[in-house]
Amino acid sequence: MLNHARPGARAIGAAVVAILVLGSAVGAEAATKKKVVKHTRAVTLTYRGGCTVDDPAVSASDTSGCSMFGAAGWQVPAKSTERFVTVTVTDATGQKVPGAFWTGSGANGHTTAFCGSMKDYGVPQGGVVLALDAIGAVTKCPGLATQGTVKLVFSNLP
């Protein structure tokens, strides 16, 4: 006689096989997902004096005139995978130094000012244009660029 209160061996076996198949599919999917790894590249620049006069925000020109004389104005290319940059300025005075990133061209350009540092600035296609302030025109900050280093850390993730 059949006992209907107890499941059959075939039903139990089929359920176990189904669970094993589903479990292996979930495990295989998890194993094939790639974990995105943060990659960084550091660039250290030195300066002697600020670059307000040649700052694109002030004169609509690039910063090449400043960097030729060691002043704080640069165009730094980015790699195609680099989406963010963090900037930290260390001045000989120990004070925070005002600076700005520049995007666009001429009168259609835009500055993004910072004081001493900025984290995870979105890198425009091609790289960044950066200038430190010599006269305090870009942003209110306690110091002015005298002499020191700028550390840029480019990354693919914020």
- The per-residue pLDDT for range 59-110, each reduced to its tens digit, is 444 555 676 666 788 889 999 999 999 999 999 999 999 988 888 766 677 8
Tokens in use for 2? 């059949």
Phi then psi dihedrals of residue 60, to 5 deg: 60, 25
Asked if residue 98 lies in contact with residue 132, where contact means CB atoms within 8 angstroms, the answer is yes
Alpha-carbon distances, residue 155 vs 29, 56, 116, 132 (angstroms): 28, 25, 19, 22
Considering the segment(s) 40-155 as one domain, its CATH architecture is Sandwich (2.60)
Asked if residue 122 lies in contact with residue 3, where contact means CB atoms within 8 angstroms, the answer is no
Amino acid type, 15 = A
Quickly state the pLDDT bin for 7 (edges 50, 70, 90): low
